[in-house]
Amino acid sequence: MKKIMCLLTVLVLISCGDKKEENGKLKVVTTTTMITDLVEHIGGDLIEINGLMGSGIDPHLYKASQGDFRKLDRADVIFYNGLHLEGKLVEVFEKMNEQAKTTIAISDGVAENTLIGSEYFASNYDPHIWFDLAYWNDISVYVTKRLSELDPENAAAFEVNRDDYLKKLKELKIDLDKKIEELPKEKRILVTAHDAFNYFGRTFDFEVVGLQGISTATEAGVKDVQRITEFIIENKIKAIFIESSVPRRTVEALQAAVNAQNHDVIIGGELFSDALGSAGTAEGTYIGMYKHNVNTIVNALK
């Protein structure tokens, strides 16, 4: 880490140029695919955007590569999730801040006293805030405000893009509510690989159980598997779910443990939790991801 930090210091020192040099566009670096998608919607082709993490990448475990340091160094602004989601990048962002680089945690756009607490997680809060649609609305407003401060000439265009996106989010909520209604209250129990869906659960009145904790850095133990096996049998749960950014073996081990007790449980499909689907597909966008998840969950559990 020390070596990387030294390199970072050197890179930052030698290239603190003016903002918006070269093609004149604000250079933005983002971390997760959800943030990249949101900032792309607001910034459109008025900004130059570089996302660090791709589809299927787990932000809890992600470490910056040499190529990432080059992107970060060239950036005018860095948008990241915050609340310790990007657990291994925290030091990198702190260092960037010390060197007067603009780093923005999108979680600052959300009222802190409404966050779901998590006393065992580093930030004391559950960082999976993108699953709260009202938060995503607030974060879109916050990102627009911060982009406009950095690039006031394009503020009006950013606001038009924001309003267009907020309209789409409103339509999304209506569509999701309609689909969720197909699932009676007693069947709204979601068992997944890790604790990414608490905000989803709060929004749509689901009980949520994750095999691993809030971060995938904590492995599921034998006791977790036993406890959740009993829970699945007691509640006659039909399906459990894998996540695209977490190895499927823990969920498969849980399925095997349940089946060994003569209770059938299927793998209901793959959900996108901490990363969107492949670029260029519907699931590669926030809106497409959310529709895919809700359709997969409702169809498997009803």
- Which alpha helices (DSSP H) does 184-221 contain, by range? 198-204
The two tokens of residue 278 are 């492949």
Question: Minimum distance from CB of 247 to Zn ion (Å)?
Answer: 13
Stretch near Zn ion under the rule CB under 5 A, chosen from 111-119, 129-137, 261-269, 271-279: 271-279
- Which alpha helices (DSSP H) does the chain contain, by range? 2-14, 33-43, 66-74, 90-98, 133-150, 155-180, 198-204, 222-234, 249-259, 286-301
Q: Name which of residues 159 to 198 contact Zn ion (CB under 5 A).
A: 196
Q: Map residue 98 onto helix, strand or coil.
A: helix
Question: Minimum distance from CB of 248 to Zn ion (Å)?
Answer: 15
Helix (H) / strand (E) containing 78: strand 77-80
The crossing angle, in degrees rounded to 10, of helices 155-180 and 133-150 is 170
Is 274 or 283 the residue whose CB approaches Zn ion more closely? 274
Is 43 or 210 the residue whose CB approaches Zn ion more closely? 210
Question: Minimum distance from CB of 97 to Zn ion (Å)?
Answer: 24
Question: Minimum distance from CB of 240 to Zn ion (Å)?
Answer: 17
Q: Name which of residues 195 to 254 contact Zn ion (CB under 5 A).
A: 196
Q: Is 86 in the site for Zn ion (CB under 5 A)?
A: no
Question: Which residue has tokens 């801040």?
Answer: 97
Q: Is 40 in the site for Zn ion (CB under 5 A)?
A: no
Question: Minimum distance from CB of 197 to Zn ion (Å)?
Answer: 9
Q: Is 271 in the site for Zn ion (CB under 5 A)?
A: no
The two tokens of residue 169 are 């989010």
Is 12 or 89 the residue whose CB approaches Zn ion more closely? 89
Question: Which residue has tokens 């910034």?
Answer: 43
Distance CA 250, CA 112 (A): 32
Among 126, 224, 274, 283, binds Zn ion (CB under 5 A): 274
Chain contacts with Zn ion (rule: CB under 5 A):
196, 274
